[in-house]
Amino acid sequence: MSQEYTAPVPDIEAAEVAEPAAVTIVVPTYNESANIRELLHQITESVPARLPCEVVFVDDSTDDTPEVIREAAKDCPFPVTVLHRDEPVGGLGGAVVEGMKAAGSDWIVVMDGDCQHPPSLVPELVATGQRANAGLVVASRYIKGGSRAGLAGSYRVAVSRGATWLTKSLFPRRLHGISDPMSGFFAIRRSDIAADALKPLGYKILLELAVRSRPRAVTEVPFVFQERFAGESKSTAEEGRRFLRHLAGLRTATPLARMVVFGLIGLTGFVPNLVALWALTHAGLHYLPAEIVANQFGVAWNFLLIEKVLFRDRRRHRHWADRTVRFALLANADLVLRIPLIALLVTHFGLSALPATALALVITFVLRFVGTEALVYLP
């Protein structure tokens, strides 16, 4: 007698939840020697034996932090490594990505080295991720039970609020479900990190991961941002500017987004164009040559904004004089092309003047954008 055998259907989700987790804690450090012992002590107290753990410091210090770490590591029940970078790239975010690449566990927790992020939360971050089958678990100051107690001064609170609001408005979809995209404390599954897609730039590595790596599902756990244990914040005004550049880079990652920004910059160019036209015609110049000269003011304005904002990172491929000439030629070709194109649309396609002009504007705009990307600012 034969018995029919039905192979058990593997319950992938249940298997993943049941699997014992291990965690690599990645800590970026820049001159934090006075905080290391306390941090490792707090981690030792917090992480239970059933959660295998290793700590990877990625250090850009100019002081003796690496030696202090190696010394303190001798008293730790888990492996501790220090990756010291002689040529730091990407600042804090770049350091975190290096650490993630070196991590050996399925879960990675990123936290600061100054004890502002309570290590007691590490097991909960991982457990929550396992339970919810999430790719990313953010420790948030902005949900019930969380607070930013350790954020010193009303100025910093206001800046932090403004930055959070701006960032959430720029990435409503990618940051859906993340109340605290500025947090530097989170757990992420190694399998959810698209390391090659990342271009970390400064402090906001969580934002970088949420936008470019797009982890499968996100949950949050509240936390109280503590006071710094020792020393001072390493953030500077330059870091603020770097953050704005980071936002601009993330927001213009797709050609469509770049075209929109290109168009918006183009619209602002009308202002210098019209002001120059007004001044030149008032100075007695005939309106036709005045149009041509005034247009150059608009072109120059657009060029400066595009160099500073949109293609800031793509300037290295050509000399600035080369870029200027190419940009100006394209911008004026646009003008020269438009009239014959309108004539063509009217005579050959039977359009009337207004739709023909509108269509010609769109066509020359797209051509100019594509041309600018391909001929002036190579990726």
- Tell me: does residue 233 bind ligand GDD (CB under 6 A): yes
Which is nearer to Mn ion, 116 or 140 (by Cβ)? Answer: 116
Report d(CA 128, CA 124) in Å as an integer. 6
Q: Does 151 bind ligand GDD (CB under 6 A)?
A: yes
| C-alpha to C-alpha distance for 34 and 267, rounded to whole angstroms | 52
- Whose Cβ is closer to ligand GDD: residue 89's or residue 274's? 89
Phi, psi of 48 (to 5 degrees): -75, 160
- The owner of tokens 């403004």 is 162
One of 184, 215, 272, 371 touching ligand GDD (CB under 6 A): 184
For ligand GDD, the binding residue among 23, 26, 32, 300 (CB under 6 A) is 32
Size of the site for ligand GDD (CB under 6 A): 23
Give me the least distance between CB of 202 and ligand GDD, in Å please: 8
Pairing of strands 136-140, 107-110: unpaired
**Amino acid in position 162:** G
Looking at the Cβ atoms of 183 and 252, the one nearer to Mn ion is 183
Q: Which is nearer to ligand GDD, 165 or 287 (CB)?
A: 165
Q: For residue 246, state whether it binds ligand GDD (rule: CB under 6 A).
A: no
| Binder of residue 129, out of ligand GDD, Mn ion, none (CB less than 5 to 8 A by kind) | none
CB nearer to Mn ion: pick between 112 and 307: 112
Q: 110 has which bridge partners? A: 26, 186
Token duo for residue 44: 């030792």
Q: Is 226 in the site for ligand GDD (CB under 6 A)?
A: no
Task: Tell me the closest approach of the beta carbon of residue 279 to Mn ion, in angstroms.
Answer: 51
Phi, psi of 252 (to 5 degrees): -110, 35
- CB-CB contact of 99 with 28 (8 Å): yes
The answer to the question of residue 95 lying near ligand GDD (CB under 6 A) is: yes
- Return the number of the residue (171 or 243) whose C-beta is nearest Mn ion: 243
Write down how long the chain is: 379
93 binds ligand GDD per the rule CB under 6 A: no
Q: Which two tokens stand for residue 316?
A: 């290295």
* 88 lines the binding site for ligand GDD (CB under 6 A): yes
Check residue 29 for interaction with ligand GDD (CB under 6 A): yes
Which CB atom, from 139 or from 306, has the smaller least distance to ligand GDD? Answer: 139
d(CA 140, CA 283): 60
CB–CB of 361/266 below 8 Å? Answer: no
Nearest to 115 by CA among 26, 24, 38, 203: 38
Under rule CB under 6 A, residue 235 binds ligand GDD: yes
Instruction: Say how far apart CA 178 and CA 193 lie, in whole Å.
Output: 17
Residues that bind Mn ion (CB under 5 A): 112, 114, 116
Contact segment (CB under 6 A) with ligand GDD among 25-33, 189-197, 320-328, 342-350 equals 25-33
Which single residue brings its beta carbon nearest to ligand GDD? Answer: 184
Q: How far is the CB of 54 from Mn ion (least distance, A)?
A: 23
Asked if 116 touches ligand GDD (CB under 6 A), the answer is yes
- H or E element, residue 42: helix 36-46
Buried b (16+ CB within 10 A) or exposed e, 214-235: ebeebbbbbbbbeebbeeeebe
Shortest CB 19 distance to ligand GDD, Å? 29
Question: For residue 179, what is the enclosing H or E element?
Answer: none
The answer for residues whose C-beta is within 8 angstroms of residue 377's C-beta and 6 or more apart is 306, 311, 314, 315, 317, 323
How far apart CA 97 and CA 212 sit, in angstroms, is 13
Interacting residue ranges for ligand GDD, rule: CB under 6 A:
28-30, 32, 58-60, 88, 91-92, 95, 112-114, 116, 151, 160, 182, 184, 203, 233-235
